[in-house]
Structure 1
Amino acid sequence: MNTTKILEKLNSLNKNTLMETLEIEFIEVGNDFVTAKMPVNSRVHQPFGLLHGGATAALAETVGSSASAVFVDTNVKVVKGIELSINHVKSKKEGTVFATAKAIHKGRTTHLWEVRIVDEEENLISLCKITNIVLDKK
């Protein structure tokens, strides 16, 4: 697994997307995980100056869906998220959050990922679960 090439490809796909708007950057890939980071600033705040739950959910879905795509042949398969659940456990005003998707189940047609979103001090910000379906490309 050439992690440098995988990270370059994942980050290149962000151009002109929500991921670019949220400044999401993939930073690490392993045999069973993918990690990305997102700055916490006014772009991702809700009206009270805290990290918006929707931005956190977008980060979680981005990392979880991308993780499935890393581990299938995207020349013949397509990955689509079919369920996302997220619990927000701590607020964040500024800094950076890091989302790591770890495989719980990687089947032929469904993948289940746990996504932990933490801050710079490893404080848990949100805990997520994402289910992806893996379909044949048409």
Structure 2
Amino acid sequence: MDKEQILKGMNERSENTLMETLDIEYVDLGKDYLTAKMPVGSKVHQPFGQLHGGATAALAETVASTASYFFLEDKNQLVNGIELTINHVKSKREGEVFATARNIHKGRTTQLWEVEIVDEEGNLISICKMTSIVLEKRK
């Protein structure tokens, strides 16, 4: 399966979820990363007209969780995010933001992901770390 088909499948699984509500779309995939984008406008603003930190956190957890599962070798396992920390370093009012998740630690039971969120010009908007736990799927 090629990269475009994989991304298409990821995006199709987002129907009727928070990802669809926030218009999050997976746009790039490499051997050690996954990137998603989200438009920035009134739908994801806080009352002062800036990108809401909660929407940014949802984008970060989305891309890290999806990457965490995608890069599992054993598809009889699943992952759940168990901790998310995020620092917002720049505000954004309009346009798009891009979140790229890269693995820092891939253990048997926990994984640590770093998510860098940038705007269209590559300006850092937020930086995030997410820990996920690897579990056996229940029958």
Q: What percentage of aligned pairs have identical amino acids?
A: 66
**Cα 1:73–1:8, aligned 2, differ >3 Å: closer, same or farther?**
farther
Shift of 1:2: 2.9
Q: Is the 8 A contact 1:91 1:125 kept in 2?
A: yes
Number of residues paired by the alignment?
Answer: 138
The answer for unaligned runs of 5 or more in structure 1 is none
In structure 2, the residue matched to 1:84 is 84
| TM-score, normalization by structure 2 | 0.95
Taking the TM superposition and a 5 Å limit, the aligned residue runs for 1:107-118 are 107-118=107-118
Give 3-state SS (helix, strand or coil) of 1:79's partner: strand
In structure 2, the residue matched to 1:31 is 31
In structure 2, the residue matched to 1:63 is 63
Shift of 1:10: 1.0
For residues 44-69 of structure 1, give each alpha carbon's deviation from its aligned partner in whole angstroms, at most 9, with x where no partner exists: 00001000000000000000000011
In structure 2, the residue matched to 1:100 is 100
- Distance in 1, Cα, partners of 2:3 & 2:22: 23
The answer for unaligned runs of 5 or more in structure 2 is none
How well do the aligned residues superpose, as a CA RMSD in angstroms? 1.2
- Distance in 2, Cα, partners of 1:75 & 1:101: 20
After TM superposition, what 4+ stretches of structure 1 lie above 6 angstroms from structure 2?
none
For residues 8-29 of structure 1, give each alpha carbon's deviation from its aligned partner in whole angstroms, at most 9, with x where no partner exists: 1210111001100100000001
Q: Is the 8 A contact 1:6 1:70 kept in 2?
A: no
In structure 2, the residue matched to 1:17 is 17
For residues 105-132 of structure 1, give each alpha carbon's deviation from its aligned partner in whole angstroms, at most 9, with x where no partner exists: 1112111110000001100000000001
| TM-score, normalization by structure 1 | 0.96
Give 3-state SS (helix, strand or coil) of 1:61's partner: helix
Shift of 1:75: 3.6
Amino acid across the alignment from 1:41: G
Amino acid across the alignment from 2:21: T
